[in-house]
């Protein structure tokens, strides 16, 4: 305990008595401050003094004053510190030069790129040197073999010209090929083996000696020069057109079960789409039997070709048929086994995407006031394909005011649809389109705030809600056409599953002549 007279710092008065004696001789008990309290007191004092010190004042104000000179001193000091840390520059030392002898120099020359460009090897002492004399005229190869590919949109004549065939001879070859098969029937990607002979004179194109390619799945064409003239020889390829029938039991998934049975992916998708016109996919249960027949061709050379789905059948676990549909007619429509073609579909979405705005009154996003929204908006990204909701005829395709690029379809019986804000249209006026056919692509033309599809439907010329319409398409076969339909269906049902996969023996024995070693090495040059 410390007693300090006259000091008042958290003091407690312990003086007793009264009157003047008590007032003049008061004793106060003082508590010593702790270390933390003294540190806080010191820190507050230093902070108060540093607040008044401005190390980097504005040099544009109070020029010549004490504060300004202190700022100049700070700037000069920081600049001097930066210059003190400036990196030093030192020379870079390279490897000492190497003394090369003539022998080593020739060896290096044989391994650089220049001898490769001139056709020489790159081995030791194999490169061309100054002792090599150039020939006055290099001999040409007696023949050149190239493989040309018919590109998409290219003509057969241009493909020959690109491969090195002369103009007149290319026209002659195209005429010879056209006499055996239509040039438009040759598929893009077809590879053509071409043999060019020796030039008759310098600067002239090489003559065509031979040409061979697969013109169709069942035909091969061979052109050869006989007695100075080109002649074409068609070589038919034996093809078996037995359709491929695949049957199996449905497991957890109809798609996976069909794929596991060997059905091609596109055929399974077509099979599911066809069944959905008659049966709800949710009602296809485990234990049912799927039955499909696919157009299938196989050549004696080993190639196969898969075509369209011809028959789609589904049988219950008890063996009773639940659906039997066969493709028939020039339009490729599916009919029931009884000859009745029926297709029931709800609202077919014209584009893949969610509905962003329904039919009815709304506030227009561009004009800003409420008005009738006579359609449905589908949210989709720019360039998404737009399809026809059902079979129709294109009545208009072009610019339509605030609707932008628009296509209008007439579905018959007073029903029509319109597709607005397209970025690009894929049909023209008067064209017939089928359900699911692409008619354009999503865009943002006209009064639009972003890429989407505005889809309208009209009945008798009046706008209606597209969600309230169900499409029903029916067709009925009768007479001789019904008899032909049933006859073809009977023929398909007689096909044994997997019979089309049996090996097809070649019509004539394969050539077993020995292959020369030079033929194993030499390859034809491909021309794209």
CB atoms within 10 A of CB 166: 16
Q: What are 8's two structure tokens?
A: 């008042």
How far is it, in rounded angstroms, from Cα 428 to Cα 394?
Answer: 7
How high is the pLDDT of residue 440? 94
Q: What is the DSSP string of 231-261?
A: EEEEEE--EE-PPEEEEEE--S-HHHHHHHT
Cβ pair 110, 122 in contact under 8 A: yes
For 471, counting Cβ atoms within 10 Å of its Cβ (0-12 exposed, 13-18 middle, 19+ buried), the class is middle
How far is it, in rounded angstroms, from Cα 523 to Cα 284?
Answer: 55
How high is the pLDDT of residue 6? 45
How far is it, in rounded angstroms, from Cα 248 to Cα 321?
Answer: 14
* Residue 139 DSSP SS3: coil
Which of 474, 467, 450 is closest to 342 using CA atoms?
474
Tens of pLDDT, residue by residue, the chain (528 residues): 444 444 444 444 444 444 444 444 556 566 778 888 888 888 888 888 777 777 777 888 888 888 888 888 888 988 898 888 887 777 777 777 778 888 887 777 766 665 555 555 544 455 566 777 877 777 778 888 889 888 888 888 898 888 888 888 889 988 988 888 888 888 888 899 988 888 887 778 888 888 999 988 888 999 888 888 888 899 898 888 888 999 999 888 888 888 888 888 888 888 888 887 777 777 788 888 999 999 988 888 888 888 899 998 899 888 888 888 888 887 788 888 877 765 545 456 788 888 888 887 767 665 666 777 888 888 888 999 999 888 889 999 999 888 899 999 998 888 899 999 999 999 999 999 887 789 999 998 988 888 999 999 898 888 888 877 766 555 667 788 888 888 888 888 888 888 777 766 655 555 556 655 555 555 566 665
For 159, counting Cβ atoms within 10 Å of its Cβ (0-12 exposed, 13-18 middle, 19+ buried), the class is buried
Which of 161, 188, 187 is closest to 174 using CA atoms?
161
Rounded to 5 degrees, φ, ψ at 64 are 95, -10
Instruction: List beta partners, residue 360.
Output: 373
How high is the pLDDT of residue 407? 95
* DSSP designation for 368: -
CA atoms within a 13 Å half-sphere pointing along the CA-CB vector of 452: 15
The dihedral through the CA atoms of 249, 252, 253, 258 has a sign that is negative
Contacts from 163-172 at CB under 8 Å and sequence distance 24+?
163/192, 163/194, 163/196, 163/527, 164/194, 164/196, 164/205, 164/206, 164/527, 165/194, 165/196, 165/205, 165/206, 165/208, 166/204, 166/205, 166/207, 169/205, 169/207, 169/208, 169/230, 172/230
Q: Give every CB contact of residue 207 below 8 A, 6+ residues apart in sequence.
A: 166, 169, 196, 197, 198, 199, 200, 225
Cβ pair 197, 209 in contact under 8 A: yes
């Amino acid at each position: 305990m410390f007693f300090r007279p006259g000091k008042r710092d958290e003091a407690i008065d312990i003086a007793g008595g009264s009157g003047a004696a008590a007032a003049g001789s008061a004793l106060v008990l003082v508590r010593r401050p702790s270390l933390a309290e003294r540190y806080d007191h010191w820190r507050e004092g230093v902070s108060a003094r540093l607040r008044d010190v401005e190390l980097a004042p504005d040099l544009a104000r109070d020029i010549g004053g004490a504060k300004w000179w202190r700022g100049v001193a700070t700037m000069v000091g920081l600049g001097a510190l930066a210059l003190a840390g400036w990196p030093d520059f030192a020379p870079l030392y390279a490897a000492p030069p190497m003394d090369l002898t003539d022998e080593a120099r020739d060896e290096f020359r044989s391994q650089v790129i220049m001898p490769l460009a001139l056709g020489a090897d790159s081995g030791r002492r194999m490169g061309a040197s100054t002792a090599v004399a150039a020939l006055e005229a290099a001999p040409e190869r007696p023949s050149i073999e190239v493989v040309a590919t018919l590109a998409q949109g290219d003509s057969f004549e241009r493909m020959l010209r690109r491969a090195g065939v002369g103009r007149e001879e290319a026209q002659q070859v195209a005429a010879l090929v056209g006499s055996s098969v239509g040039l438009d029937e040759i598929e893009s990607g077809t590879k053509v083996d071409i043999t060019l002979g020796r030039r008759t004179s310098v600067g002239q194109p090489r003559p065509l000696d031979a040409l061979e390619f697969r013109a169709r799945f069942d035909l091969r064409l061979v052109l050869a020069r006989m007695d100075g003239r080109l002649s074409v020889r068609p070589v038919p390829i034996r093809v078996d057109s037995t359709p491929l029938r695949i049957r199996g039991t449905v497991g957890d998934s109809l798609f996976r079960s069909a794929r596991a049975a060997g059905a091609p992916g596109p055929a399974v998708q077509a099979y599911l789409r066809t069944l959905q016109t008659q049966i709800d996919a949710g009602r296809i249960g485990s234990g049912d039997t799927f039955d499909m027949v696919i157009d299938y061709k196989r050549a004696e050379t080993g190639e196969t070709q898969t075509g369209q789905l011809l028959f789609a059948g589904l049988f219950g676990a008890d063996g009773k048929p639940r659906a039997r549909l066969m493709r028939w007619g020039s339009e490729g429509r599916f009919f029931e086994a009884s000859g009745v073609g029926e297709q029931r579909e709800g609202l077919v979405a014209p584009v893949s995407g969610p509905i962003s705005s329904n039919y009815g009154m709304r506030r227009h996003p561009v004009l800003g006031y409420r008005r009738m929204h006579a359609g449905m908006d589908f949210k989709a990204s720019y360039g998404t394909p737009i399809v026809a909701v059902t079979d129709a005829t294109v009545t208009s395709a072009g610019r339509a005011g605030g609707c932008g690029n628009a296509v209008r379809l007439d579905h018959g019986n007073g029903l029509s649809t319109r597709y607005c804000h397209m970025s690009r249209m894929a049909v023209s006026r008067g064209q017939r389109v089928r359900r699911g056919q692409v008619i354009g692509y999503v865009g943002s033309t006209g009064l639009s705030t972003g890429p989407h599809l505005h889809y309208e439907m009209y009945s008798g010329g009046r706008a209606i809600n597209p969600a309230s319409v169900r499409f029903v398409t029916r067709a009925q076969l009768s007479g001789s056409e019904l008899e032909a339909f049933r006859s073809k269906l009977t023929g398909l049902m007689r096909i044994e599953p997997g019979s089309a996969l049996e090996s097809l023996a070649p019509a004539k024995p394969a050539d077993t002549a020995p292959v020369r070693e030079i033929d194993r090495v030499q390859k034809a040059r491909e021309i794209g």
